[in-house]
Amino acid sequence: MSSSAAVPATTAGRSAVLSPPAPTAPDAGETGADAGRAASRPPLRRRPMSPVRRRRLIRESLLFCVLILPNLAAILVFSYWPAIYNIVLSFMDWDLVAPMPEWVGLENYIDLFTDPEFWSVMLNTLVFTTVTVVGSLVGGVLLGTLLATKVPFTGMVRTFAFAPHMLPGAAVGMLWLFMFDPSFGLSRFLFNLVGMDSPQWTTTSDWSLAAVTVAYLWQRLGFVTVIYYTAILDLPKDILEAASLDGAHGVKMLRHMVLPLLSPITFFLSVTGVIAAAQAFDLISILTNGGPGISSSTLSWMIYEEAFQKFDIGKASSAATVLLVLLLVLTFMQVRFGEKKVNYAS
């Protein structure tokens, strides 16, 4: 297939027009809002299908169902159903032990929104997500640009920067716990270099969220860097050369040419970055357990704690619903906002 036009995912399904080996591919004009049976209703303004053809289409459709069934079933049962039933549970009161959850209406949400701890957790989540997403984007584009200069050792940086992204979060958490140790860790060494004592990273509420943020950034930065690096190498050289002839260099070039051209990537990385950061859990679990107090609790930690340590399913599922709604709204906004910016491609 030679068309190099990049097509948004929403049209990916158009393959229906091209690929099926079925003799009459239904055209894209047909609305998907059909009532089921593929071939039971002859398409308008077309020769009626021969029985052989029709039987064949039915056979194809059956085969399709069989092929996608295992995957569809898994995703329905373990992704969509839980997301929906979680909303139902958020109107219930339950401790996982009582035989039946009890309907309490909006009570969980009222409890949640009037709980000052919830708002501290939301603030932590906001700070953590913003710092890690913005930090990894800024760091990633700078480092990616640096790597693209092809000076010595850039290949090694690429490898070792990406490596943390491959490690279990639990292992990264342990590693940083060790480095944060104020008595024997690298942290003491570094702070001593500038004549200071190492902060008690994981055990004081002033520093605990910073500890989680630093470890998370270290794990994510390499991934963002390598994606940017790959994209930078792929920028249209003729345009950049023209700009360079027109006198754009260095920072000017970066700001007016490279960054706008990279905006689709930035868009993708910020959407996935927010979703990933909102679920950062393993590092918190290993480094701080959300504490001291709730100083490093984020929404994802709170969901876990309420559900599986305090067994307050109602509160946990209402917090999870808040997370779901926030992410959906945010993604929707990013898509709307992103559409305007992401028009530079080819």
Show contacts with other proteins in window 132-171 (CB under 8 A): 143, 145-154, 156-157, 159-164, 166-171
Taking CB under 8 A as the criterion, the residue among 113, 119, 184, 337 binding other proteins is 184
Question: Residue 85: left if φ>0, alpha if ψ -120 to 50, beta else—which one?
Answer: alpha
Residue 60 sits in the site that holds other proteins (CB under 8 A): yes
Stretch near other proteins under the rule CB under 8 A, chosen from 47-55, 103-111, 120-128, 236-244: 236-244
Residue 20 sits in the site that holds other proteins (CB under 8 A): yes
| Complex with other proteins: residue 79 or 130, whichever CB lies closer | 79
Residue 61 sits in the site that holds other proteins (CB under 8 A): yes
Query: CA 226 to CA 157: how far, in whole Å?
Result: 10
Q: Looking at residues 64 to 123 of the shown chain, list those that interact with other proteins (rule: CB under 8 A).
A: 64-65, 67-68, 70-72, 74-75, 77-83, 85-86, 89, 96
Could you tell me which residues come within 8 angstroms of residue 137 by beta carbon, excluding any fewer than 6 positions away? 224, 266, 269, 270, 273
**DSSP string over 211-247:** HHHHHHHHHHHHHHHHHHHHHHHTS-HHHHHHHHHTT
Q: Looking at residues 22 to 41 of the shown chain, list those that interact with other proteins (rule: CB under 8 A).
A: 22, 25-26, 30, 32, 34, 38
Closest CA to 220 of 126, 136, 155, 278: 136
SS3 152: coil
Reported as type and span, the H/E element at residue 93 is strand 92-93
Taking CB under 8 A as the criterion, the residue among 259, 335, 337, 341 binding other proteins is 335
Q: Centre a 10 Å sphere on the Cβ of residue 48 and count the other Cβ atoms it contains.
A: 9
Query: CA 35 to CA 55: how far, in whole Å?
Result: 18
| Complex with other proteins: residue 71 or 114, whichever CB lies closer | 71
Question: Whole-number minimum distance, CB 344 to other proteins, in Å?
Answer: 11
Taking CB under 8 A as the criterion, the residue among 126, 328, 329, 333 binding other proteins is 328
| Complex with other proteins: residue 2 or 114, whichever CB lies closer | 2
